[in-house]
Structure 1
């Protein structure tokens, strides 16, 4: 895969709103185990609240999905893969993000964590805007603004 193709795929998976219109994968291998991801997410989302006994299962699923996303993103960023394999990885990552978004929206929210996440997202958008406005290339000027 050419470097510009890799950058395009990485930008696609990190784009805000990348999950809009994306489908949750039917099944996915997470930590070497096949998971019926779409069925699991829809089963959990059908309930108004997650029972205490299911909360651990949902938290464990989210943790495993985050780990799997990170591994796939690293493979996309650094792996010796073809463009087609990269496209498949990018689609899987966006699907994982879609599932995580659905699972994160369940139950009571931690307002402090939510506030910190919003602040971090605002800061990321601001830095991105500044880099674009100043015409700085992210790859050549890492750490400098």
Structure 2
């Protein structure tokens, strides 16, 4: 059910975002406590503002009312992904080379399954991440298909 809601929402929101020159980062539909939330994360270079989120929310809400893919009450939230933006697609990885990232893998690479480091490159479906272990630096080559979760991370130097 939730996959259907996500795909219908992606289909409905994309034309709105195209018209406003915004990018769809992610859609999630999940239950928290007794409430269901449909969250749409949008972005653009320089970030989105509250007005843009409001416009997308208003237009998407109308389209969702017309299509009515969700039978139960839910809350619609449209926001920017914030500082810890998820990296979902290969395009995201290419775009954020040089940034500090957090990654969790399906299986370990060089004994590492969860780590933070600098995304050095992304080529041929492989991310190269430089991590620090105590005082030494180590580069991990991580195949894209082994990445369970990745997002930009906030670093405190």
TM range (shorter): under 0.3
More strand by share: 2
When the two structures are superposed, what TM-score results if normalisation uses the length of structure 1?
0.26
More helix by share: 1
Which is bigger in relative contact order (C-alpha 8 A, separation at least 6)? 1
When the two structures are superposed, what TM-score results if normalisation uses the length of structure 2?
0.24
